[in-house]
Amino acid sequence: MSVNPEKPYQDLPPLPPARELQTGQVVNRVISASRALATANASAKRLPDPSILIHAIPLLEAQASSEIENIVTTNDELFRAAHNVEPASPAAREALRYREALYEGYSYIEKHPFSVNLAKIVCSKIIGVATDIRALPGTFIGNPVTREHVYTPPEGKETILEHLSRWEVFAHERESGLDPLIKMALLHYQFEAIHPFSDGNGRTGRILNVLYLVQSGLLDQPITYLSGYIVEHKDEYYRLLNGVTQKGAWGEWIEFILNAVDVTSRWTDSLITSIYNLLDQTISELNQTNLPARDLAFLLFSKPYLRYADMVSGLQVSRPTAAKWASSLSEMGMIERKKVGKSVILINHRYLDILFTTPLPK
């Protein structure tokens, strides 16, 4: 099997591949990844306020997925931009669009099935304009300096639509008996190989991974950090994608994705445990004061960059009261107060330290 990288891959084989995929080694990896994912999903339910994770992990995922496409911003910069602490840089704006695309896709699949239309909605949000299946030839995937082709996706709108139709059908079929995690790996490769849009395919495909886990019932919320693993193994990620195209090396590719699920699920579980412990500690500390412990703690974690106005609206108190409470929090070491322009920002630095420094397991 050999595909000429300079010629459009018109005859992209449909899914599933005509070979045994659930080998003993793959099955063992599926078991490990499934357990880790189920544990992370269960851990998320421990938090009394689920919005804490919804406000945090998608931003981390957005930063990592954008970095894979060489759109580089730091977590700190992105969180500051997301909470309107400072104007967003061009890279941060692109990453924030990724988060919004994830949110919109998550909302969509609550009422609609996983589909080509979902991919269009997600991609349109990512690139900031309404988009459709590409119709023009000449898509270049390769070295931008040497202009050496690595791969050329199918051309012709009708051909692309036919491949996408098969992709969508496979997403919902059950006859193959394949585990959903294996199917996610196959769907991700196929989507990237079809490369249906003129821009944003990689980021769209990685959001679809998360949404497929949700729609398959493996996750209740989009709280996986698959892109964090991929960005740390970026060269291997692209090498294995190409290995499927050139050699039909499905086994290595599937194992890579399963390992990504396993590692990032254990990371999510560890992160949630740390957040839960700090939240519990924060509530205990606030219980020693006259402040509304639980409500204030939840606000500090759902909005780690907090303004007086957030306390006024979120806790139904006056501005002088909010300022007084902020002084107490600062004296207790729970927050850092920072003047930004005419505003005072209250930073939950202990929580942000957990988010930004919890490493992926080896």
155-201: pLDDT as tens digits: 999 999 999 999 999 999 988 899 999 999 999 999 999 999 999 99
Instruction: Indicate the length of the chain as a whole number.
Output: 362
What integer pLDDT is reported at residue 128 of this predicted model?
95
Outline where DSSP puts E strands in 215-325.
Answer: 305-306
Residues spanned by CATH 1.10.3290.10 within the chain? 24-265
Per CATH, the number for 272-357 is 1.10.10.10
Of 362, 356, 265, 275, which is closest to residue 63 (Cα–Cα)? 356
Average pLDDT, the chain: 94
pLDDT above 90: percentage of residues in the chain: 87
Q: For the residues 56-83, what does the mean pLDDT come to?
A: 92
Structure-block tokens of residue 149: 């082709």
What integer pLDDT is reported at residue 1 of this predicted model?
63
Residues spanned by CATH 1.10.10.10 within the chain? 272-357
Q: For the residues 314-337, what does the mean pLDDT come to?
A: 95
Sign of CA dihedral 229, 233, 235, 240: negative
**pLDDT higher for 259 or 144?**
259
Crossing angle between the packed helical segments 201-215 and 90-108, to the nearest 10 degrees: 30
CATH of 24-265 among 1.20.1560.10, 1.10.3290.10, 3.30.930.10, 3.30.365.10: 1.10.3290.10
What integer pLDDT is reported at residue 167 of this predicted model?
98
Q: Is the pLDDT of residue 21 over 80?
A: yes
Of 200, 194, 193, which is closest to residue 156 (Cα–Cα)? 194
203-232: pLDDT as tens digits: 999 999 999 999 999 999 999 999 999 999
What integer pLDDT is reported at residue 15 of this predicted model?
94
269-299: pLDDT as tens digits: 999 999 999 999 999 999 999 999 999 999 9
96-125 as b/e: b if 16+ CB within 10 A: bbbbebbebbbebbeeeebbbebbbbbbbb
38-42, 68-72, 112-116, 247-251 — which is least confidently predicted? 68-72
pLDDT category at 340 given cuts 50, 70, 90 is confident
Q: Is the pLDDT of residue 54 over 90?
A: no
48-52, 59-63, 146-150 — which is least confidently predicted? 48-52
Q: Is the pLDDT of residue 249 over 90?
A: yes
pTM: 0.94
Of 131, 102, 114, 218, which is closest to residue 167 (Cα–Cα)? 114
Whether the upstream peptide bond of residue 16 has omega within 30° of 0, thus cis, is yes
